Amino acid sequence: MALDERKLEVLRAIVEDYVATQEPVGSKALVERHNLRVSPATVRNDMAVLEEEGYIRQPHTSAGRVPTDAGYRLFVDKLSRVKPLSQAERRAIERFLIGAVDLDDVVHRTVRLLAQLTRQVAVVQYPSLSRASVRHFELVPISTTRLMVVMIAETGRVEQRLVDLPGPILADEVTELRRLINEKLVGKRLVDTPPLVAALVEEAARSLRPPMTALSTVLLETLVERSEERIALAGTANLARGGLLDFQGSLRPILEALEEEVILLKLFGEVEPSMTRVRIGDENEIEDLRTASIVATGYGPGTMVVGGMGVLGPTRMDYPGNIATVRAVARYVGDLLAQS
């Protein structure tokens, strides 16, 4: 049945009070703390309807009510207002991130900042090579028969590999190889480069084909086909801040899930552009996380998404505040990557 405006206001008040106090909410407290303009008896009747519809529940006899996963979902979808960050909060984010010296520093500052601002577990995926474009290739001679290949992605991520050549090579030939590779690959997404790398050998002058073959093999094996993804994590201790009803009394399943990088990549790495995803309790596919909620979004320079970030915590979390913070931090990190 559709809930009228008053019942929706009662649900909003229950969610906000429970998030703030960690205590089940009673009708008398709602009337005292919120301007509902009705009697406690009317609020009790509204709460009975909300309970019957599955939006709130009574954790034990003679207690107040707490929201269910369905209640939180309705709150997030219809009732919550995303809190705009204050100027002080925005300045704090900017100051914290602006001093980063390289990509690793950006990621580690970001994950610590998210954990501090939201008081939840924060997760940041390193920019994914599979989504990145090539900014520049550098070839650094180590000896006459060995080169270091350095690839710089548009995200600022740097990958380097040593290549053993089939024979000695001159400085002019290194310069020509560098030119050919950059001409062919700069600006291209890594996922689109395998046929271009393969064509490099055919298009090189006959004398350069042996070293280009060695180079292209390394490019394909270690850069283009590289599948490793990395995750940074912070704020795990925040899980212990909650009340007895959070996580149904046991943190073990949550902690075990957080140790699995594959799980975290699935939760935080598969986010579409310009979208904030909120998964609440039983909506999580991972069974060990069905007492938790996740707020995740993508980030990257401009409209390109190169990774995901977000927070994980109890279903009793400040959804409007966490959504606003995750979005704001993602936007700042995207701007940083665009400038780098």
Contact 295, 319 (CB under 8 A): yes
Strands (E), the chain: 56-57, 66-67, 121-125, 134-143, 146-153, 158-164, 231-234, 276-280, 292-299, 307-314
The closest of 7, 11, 15 to 317, measured between CA atoms, is 15
Report the pLDDT value the prediction gives residue 216, as an integer from 0 to 100.
92
According to DSSP, the residues that pair with 231 across neighbouring strands are 125
Decide: 231 and 265 in contact? Cβ < 8 Å.
Answer: yes
Nearest to 47 by CA among 38, 60, 34, 56: 56
Can you give the pLDDT at residue 57?
93
- Of the candidates 81, 31, 25, the residue with the CA atom closest to the CA atom of residue 50: 25
Reduced 3-state DSSP string for 241-261: HCCCCHHHHCCHHHHHHHCCH
Pairing mode, strands 292-299 and 307-314: antiparallel
Q: What is the pLDDT of residue 181?
A: 94
Number of H helices, E strands in the chain: 12, 10
Per-residue pLDDT of 206-239, as tens digits, reads 999 999 999 999 888 766 555 567 899 999 999 9
The Cα-based distances of 88 to 1, 43, 85, 93, 94 in angstroms read 43, 38, 8, 9, 10
Beta strands in 204-291 (DSSP E): 231-234, 276-280
Kindly state the percentage of the chain with pLDDT values over 70: 94
- Give how far the C-alpha of residue 324 lies from the chain's centroid of Cα atoms, to the nearest Å: 13
Task: Quote the pTM value.
Answer: 0.80
- C-alpha 309/C-alpha 322 separation (Å) is 12
* CA-based torsion, 323, 325, 330, 332: positive or negative: positive
Region at 22 (left for phi over 0; alpha for psi -120 to 50; beta for the rest): left
What pLDDT digit, counting tens, does each position of 37-77 carry? 888 899 999 999 999 999 999 987 667 899 999 999 999 99
Q: CA 72 to CA 56: how far, in whole Å?
A: 9
| Cα–Cα distance measured from residue 321 to residue 240, given in angstroms and rounded to the nearest whole number | 20
Q: Which pLDDT band, with edges at 50, 70 and 90, does 275 fall under?
A: confident
